[in-house]
């Protein structure tokens, strides 16, 4: 009976021992990530002719706001916004009835003063008129002349003329509205010449000289214009510590409009050390950010964002920011990498 029970229990004992042995067997360690085979290149500097590039905004040569010098009700407006006007062209006028009447009164007063002066002057020359009375009539005559001149000017000021040739960009009055001295009626811009205004960092403003030529590309027009640096503001911006400069452009055909964006390129006559890398190593992500992979001390690929300033031919680019001399960049195999990938070379 006992033997029979042992025989029955033996298979269960064997199974238990086998499971116990399997449970005590050491587990396999996870496989280490494989290193990606890449080719690297050390970043070096070369001397290259300095090329400075900036984003610019087109500005008019002159902006002026004009208005009436005398008050009155506007009875005529001859121009509209966007219209080109010539110097001396009539823009608007006010009702000058009051000033016309004032001039008639001034003329009458002047005639009276002149007649009185002629008669009293003869008496004074003969010694029959006291000097005090003679001075009084001279004063009245001068006042009458001044009154006529003032009222004549009021009538002339009742008409507003263009002080220069340009484009009306603002019309701030309408027929029937009230004009007042010092209140603008129109804004006129002069655009036969325009400026491309750029903002220049402190470390680059020393390369700018008045009269230096530059190339200005206007993306909207797909055209380039040659210009010269005409204004360099010596006062830095209090917040950004940058300087402003203006490039004068001849606006033939009035194609360059204020507010247009332009790209300015200036080539000072000097060479500077720059970092260049092959154009093929540069990658761009979905956010349009350019970057390269650099190998760190742990032989891992590190993504570094870079700023490219210009191209050298079709095979190399100049890196403005992001890399330093001696960095080890990956030039082959970078498309298979992610930030932190283990590499071998």
The alpha helices in the chain, defined as continuous H runs, are 2-23, 97-125, 131-157
How is the chain split into domains, by residue range?
Answer: 39-48+272-344, 53-61+192-271, 63-179
Class of domain 63-179: mainly beta
Q: Residue 111 — very low, low, confident or very high, per pLDDT cuts 50/70/90?
A: very high
Tell me the mean pLDDT in the region 151-164: 95
Lowest mean pLDDT among 17-26, 66-75, 274-283: 17-26
Query: Within its chain, how far is the Cα of 318 from the centroid?
Result: 25
39-48+272-344 CATH choice from 3.30.1330.60, 3.90.1570.10, 1.10.1370.20, 2.40.420.20:
2.40.420.20
Tell me the mean pLDDT in the region 12-18: 47
Query: How many other CB atoms sit within 10 Å of the CB of residue 102?
Result: 18
Neighbouring-strand partners of residue 79: none
User: Buried b / exposed e across 74-85, counting CB within 10 Å, b at 16+?
Assistant: beebebeeeeeb
Q: What is the pLDDT of residue 2?
A: 42
Q: What is the pLDDT of residue 3?
A: 45
- Provide the 3-class DSSP secondary structure of residue 144: helix
The architecture CATH gives domain 53-61+192-271: Beta Barrel (2.40)
Q: What is the pLDDT of residue 32?
A: 64
Q: Which position has the higher pLDDT, 24 or 284?
A: 284
Assess whether pLDDT exceeds 60 at residue 43: yes
Return d(Cα 300, Cα 318) in angstroms, integer.
25
User: Between the CA of residue 201 and those of 254, 271, 312, what are the distances in Å?
Assistant: 31, 18, 23
Percent of residues, the chain, with pLDDT higher than 70: 90
Q: Which residues contact 139 (CB under 8 A, 6 or more apart)?
A: none
DSSP string computed for 241-310 = --EEEEEEEE-GGG---TT-EEEEEE--S-EEEEEEEEGGG-EE-TT--EEEEEE-TTSBEEEEE-EEEE
Q: Are strands 343-344 and 36-37 parallel, antiparallel or unpaired?
A: parallel
Q: Residue 231 — very low, low, confident or very high, per pLDDT cuts 50/70/90?
A: very high
Q: What is the pLDDT of residue 30?
A: 54
Return d(Cα 229, Cα 209) in angstroms, integer.
7
Burial classification of residue 92, based on how many CB atoms lie within 10 Å of its CB (0-12 exposed, 13-18 middle, 19 or more buried) = buried
pLDDT averaged over the chain?
Answer: 88
Assess whether pLDDT exceeds 50 at residue 151: yes
């Amino acid at each position: 009976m006992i033997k029979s029970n042992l025989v029955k229990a033996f298979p269960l004992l064997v199974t238990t021992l086998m499971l116990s042995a399997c449970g005590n067997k050491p587990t396999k360690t996870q496989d280490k990530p494989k290193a990606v085979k890449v080719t690297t290149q050390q970043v070096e500097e070369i001397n290259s002719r300095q090329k400075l590039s900036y984003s610019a905004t087109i500005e008019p040569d002159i902006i002026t706001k004009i208005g009436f010098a005398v008050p009155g009700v506007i009875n005529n407006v001859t121009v509209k916004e966007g219209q080109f006007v010539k110097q001396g062209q009539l823009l608007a006028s006010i009702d000058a009835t009051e000033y016309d009447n004032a001039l008639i009164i001034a003329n009458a007063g002047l005639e009276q003063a002149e007649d009185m002066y002629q008669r009293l002057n003869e008496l004074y020359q003969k010694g029959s008129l006291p000097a005090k009375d003679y001075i009084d009539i001279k004063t009245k005559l001068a006042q009458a002349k001044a009154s006529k001149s003032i009222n004549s000017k009021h009538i002339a000021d009742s008409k507003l003329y263009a002080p220069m040739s340009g484009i009306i960009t603002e019309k701030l009055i309408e027929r029937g509205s009230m004009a007042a001295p010092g209140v603008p009626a129109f804004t006129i811009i002069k655009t036969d010449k325009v400026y491309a205004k750029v903002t220049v960092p402190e470390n680059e403003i020393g390369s700018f000289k008045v009269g230096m030529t530059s190339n200005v590309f206007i993306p909207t027009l797909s055209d380039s214009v040659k210009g010269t640096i005409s204004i360099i503001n010596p006062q830095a911006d209090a917040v950004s510590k940058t300087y402003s400069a203006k490039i004068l452009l001849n606006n033939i055909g009035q194609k360059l409009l204020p507010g247009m964006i332009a790209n300015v390129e200036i080539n000072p006559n000097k060479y500077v050390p720059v970092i260049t890398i092959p154009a093929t190593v540069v990658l761009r992500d979905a956010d349009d950010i350019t970057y390269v992979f650099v190998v760190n001390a742990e032989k891992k690929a590190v993504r570094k964002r870079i700023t490219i300033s210009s191209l050298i031919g079709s095979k190399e680019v100049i890196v403005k920011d992001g890399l330093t001399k001696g960095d080890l960049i990956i030039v082959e195999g970078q498309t298979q990498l992610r930030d932190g990938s283990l590499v071998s070379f």
